[in-house]
Structure formats: C-alpha cells, structure tokens
Chains A and B, each alone.
Chain A
C-alpha cells in the first residue's frame, strides 16, 4: 500500500483519464485519491484533467443544444407548414361539406314542397291500411283561370247557361230532323266535352255543344222554327236523336219503348266505369231508365238539365267526385285493372298534425293520403284554407289532382297515380 501511495500515478495518462472519467474501481480509486492528498503536483494534474474534461463536456452540451435548437426550429417550421396545410385542407373539407349539406337540405326542401314524403310507418296508420303523407301546394285563385272560371262560378254560369239553353232548345226540335248518323256524330262530339265540364262543375248538368256538323244543318235550323216551342220527346224519336239531346242529362225514358230501353240500358261494367254508387247503380239497373250517366228522372216535363251526380259535402259526407272520364283517358294502362272509386277530401284538425310536419311554408299543405278499396281519402291540414268543403276535384294528370275551394286550390301529386297502389 505504501508503494502505491508513493507512486506518482498521474504520469500514466490512461490511469489519469480513467480516474477522471470515474472508470476505476472503488478500492483502487481510494488508493489513488489517497496519493493525491500527499502529492500536490499529482493533485494539480488531476485538477487540470478534470477542467479539461469539464470544458470538453461543456462544449459538447452546448454543441448538442445548438444542433437540437436548429433541428427543432426546422421541424417546427415543417410542423407549422403541415398544420397550415392541414388547416387549409380541413377548411376545404368543411366548406365542401357545408355546400353538400346546403344542397342536400335544399333538395330535401324541394322534395318536401313538390313531392311526397312517404311515411308509411306513420303512427296514424291504421292496421291493415297504409297511409302516406303528401304535401300539396296552395294556389291562390284570384282571376279567371285560363281554362275557365273558378269552379263555383263556373258551376253557376254553367247552370245559367244550361237553363238558357233549355229554353232555347225548347223551340228546337232539332232531333226529329236529324238522322241517325248525324246525331251519332254529334253525340260523339258533345258527350266527352259535356261530361268533362259537368264532372268538373259538380252538381250541374252537361251542356249540349253545338258542333259544326250540327250547325251545318241549315235546313234543320229553318225547319226548327216551325216546330212547337215546347220540347216533346216522343216514343217515335230514335235513340240517336235522344242522345243528340244529351241523354245523359236525364231524358225521360218513360216513353221509350221497351226494346229501346233494353238497348239503351248500360251494362254493369258501364256502371262501374261511371263510378256510380252501388245503390244508385242497382236502382238504375232496376228501373232500366238510365241511358246516360245519372239516374233518370221519371217526370214527364221535358227537361234538358238533369241531376248528373249528387255532390257530397265534406261536412256531411266526404266530397265525392268521380273524374271517371279523365281517369279513363289518362290513367296508365298498368292501373286500369284497379280504379279508385271515390276521392274524399276532408279538413283535419291542425292539432292532430304531427309537430314534425309543421312547417313555416304556408303554401305547403300536409295531407294524409289513404287509398283503400273503397276510395282515396285526403285529409288536409291547413290554417289558410278555412273551407271544409271542396268545390271540385280535377284530375290534371294521371297522378295529379287539383282540389278547388272557394278561393284557393291545392295541387297534389298522388304517388302511384290515381288508381295505383301506394
């Protein structure tokens, strides 16, 4: 030990570095340290070596810190750029999303306004029935529409015109002069127009229409002046002549011969097409009087106007309109097998309208549509339309109807068409 203690080990560079770097075992380190207490020169060498080590390490730390600062600032810039790019991308995504959302909502709104909202599983649906909600559009009826007067006025004017027509026709026993072929041609021209007008007009009769063929009969016009003023449809009149006088208006059939009655009696299929209530059709069948659209009248007084159909008031009974002619013409072939017999329009209590369907759009009329074998029931909910009775229902397309009230109309698109399934 004394030898080691007297040994100036600091002259050994490796041992000196190992001592400073603390890479010597504890026992040996203690002996070397003990020598340093006795050897001032050795202690100074160790101190110099420690200062060298501390200086190098200090430099190393500063260098490391400098490199780290440079690296972090560079990476920070990259991260900043990345965050910017990500922000811009996110903003673009948000804007695109907002644009799509707006477009989607607009589409939804448009669909809500123009097309039906199918809520087949609505709570209001009764078992066995499928109800759906459609939205009608309110159209203000301010002026005379292009197609004619509003329905109510048109009804009145039609009635007036028909009344005048009946007086006028009293002096015209035109039918007696018309041949079968002529009257048949006239009938073809008059029946469609008159029926359509009468159908849309509601409780009024068909109006005979003077056709060119009719007017061309100058001789007939002249002869007509010589005939009695009161119309008298005799048994000798031909079917054609009676049809020319618009038999659907209820020409009296009591004087018609049995053979003619039988010939003129419509078939059960015709009753179906005419959408007459079953009771009425049976009655008509039994009486064998109806050759036209409606029940025949049995009075002997000559009348041109006649009851075509009984209007059903919504308050008493749902309004019934069988726009059979329009349906027959416009109904798609696929729907012909099954027809809607009735269309019932009735006003519903706004309190019954589900809250989710209440919209700010006043022109949108939420309407519950039920199609059953018995007919189509439209229950509309509107604060604007005060009327509970519809003036008329008009089919304007195979799947569209217009319901007319006193001063407003509602346009409906009927999903599946007037006769189709829901």
Chain B
C-alpha cells in the first residue's frame, strides 16, 4: 500500500527529531495519538490514566527503537504506536488476570516482537540495579544510560558529556560500572 506523501514527510520529520534526541517530538506524538489510544484502553476495561501511561510507554519503546537504530518504517507512526500500545495494554491485562480472555484483535506474536524483553522484570537484581541508578550521581548515570540504553559509541558519549576522548569515557565507564555494582550489592545486602 502506498503511503501518502504528506504522512511520510510528517513522520520523517518526527523520526529525524527523535534521532537527534528531541523529546518535544515525543510530546507531539503523544497529543496526536492520545485520543485513539484512550479509545482503545477505555473500550478494554481501562481508564484515561491507563491510556496515558500506556501511550507514554509506547512512545518510550519508539524512542528506544529509533535511538538504537532498530526501527524500521513500515507503517505510519500512529499505526506503529497503536500496535505497541495495544500490546502493552493487553499484556498488562494478562498479567493482572491470567484468566482474562484476550480479545479477538489481540495479536500475541506482535507483542513479543515489538516490546522489549521483560523476562528479567521480576528479577530482584534488575530492580536493585534500577534503584541503584537513581542513587548514582552525575556523570555516571548519564554515561551508563548513554552506553547501555541508548547504545552510543564512546566518541558520541565523549562529545555529549564533554569528555576529552573515547579512552577517557572508557575509563570513566569502568569506574561508574564498578560504583553501580557496589551500590547494587549494597542494595541486595551482599558483602563484597
């Protein structure tokens, strides 16, 4: 199916903005897609707060995909966001009530392919790492996020955080990682 040119132009602008780290583009997508996602969630035992939370989560997924380069433009961004939001919401419903009957429109395979892996969500250590990240200070938090979450290269991180070069970033990253592990161990009550 041929995508209308103006949608392509509009979406390409948004994608360029996301690639450049412009979070305002995400906010724009939020307002443009809120009514559709709200309708989806409200029609499936949710409320407007749930819809807002689901949409924000879907936007974060889009952000991750675009930032790590794994996003492939196959449909309009609104369609992509609707599919992700639908999968997130139905997964939540399934988690809340295992016995819930999935609607006909629920597409389970998409859920696995579109959403980030959550096999470690319940892992105690993962939660400890998340908590420790809140306690770790600047620039370690940003450096670790840029490296592990946004998967930037050392040169990019050096440029963004103002380090002299990639080696300096590499050295600093090692220090930050050790500091985080220490915080995680403290959080888990482990003694090194």
Report which A residues bind B (CB closer than 8 A).
Answer: 13, 21, 23, 48, 50-65, 67-69, 71-72, 75-76, 79
Contact = CB atoms under 8 A, between A and B. Distances in A.
Contacts of A75: 27, 31
Contacts of B133: 55-56, 59
- Secondary structure of the A side of the interface? helix
A69 B56 contact: yes
A8 to B, nearest CB: 19
A76 B26 CA distance: 13
Interface string B148-191: 11110000000000000000000000100100110010000000
B192 interface: no
B151 A51 contact: no
Given A51-B125, A51-B126, A75-B31, A56 B59 contact: no
Contacts of B151: 21, 23
Closest 3 pairs between A and B when the two form their complex, measured CB to CB: A55-B129, A60-B149, A59-B133
B130 interface: yes
Nearest to B180: A52
Contacts of B11: none
Contact of B26 (A52, A58, A61, A68): A68
B8 interface: no
Nearest to A14: B170
Interface in B115-152: 116-117, 120-121, 123, 125-130, 132-134, 144-145, 148-151
A56 B145 contact: yes
A55 B59 contact: no
Interface residues of B, number: 38
A58 B149 CA distance: 9
B56 A51 contact: no
A23 B148 CA distance: 12
Contacts of B23: 67-68, 71
Contacts of A61: 57, 60, 64, 116, 149
B145 A72 contact: no
Contact of A65 (B56, B117, B126, B132): B56
A51 B120 contact: yes
B129 A52 contact: yes
7 contacts: A21-B151, A52-B129, A59-B145, A60-B145, A61-B57, A69-B52, A75-B31
B56 A56 contact: no
B123 A54 contact: yes
A13 B27 contact: no
A48 B180 CA distance: 12
Contacts of A65: 56-57, 60
A13 B60 CA distance: 28
Q: Give the one of B31, B125, B130, B150 with max A CB within 10 A.
A: B130
B85 to A, nearest CB: 13
B27 A51 contact: no
A53 B119 CA distance: 13
B148 A56 contact: yes
B111 to A, nearest CB: 17
Interface in B49-77: 52, 56-57, 59-60, 63-64
B180 A63 contact: no
A59 B56 contact: no
Contacts of A53: 148
A55 B127 contact: yes
Given A54-B120, A55-B130, A63 B145 contact: yes
Nearest to B27: A71
Given A72-B30, A75-B27, 10 more contacts: A23-B151, A50-B120, A55-B128, A56-B180, A61-B60, A61-B149, A65-B57, A68-B26, A68-B30, A71-B23
B16 interface: no
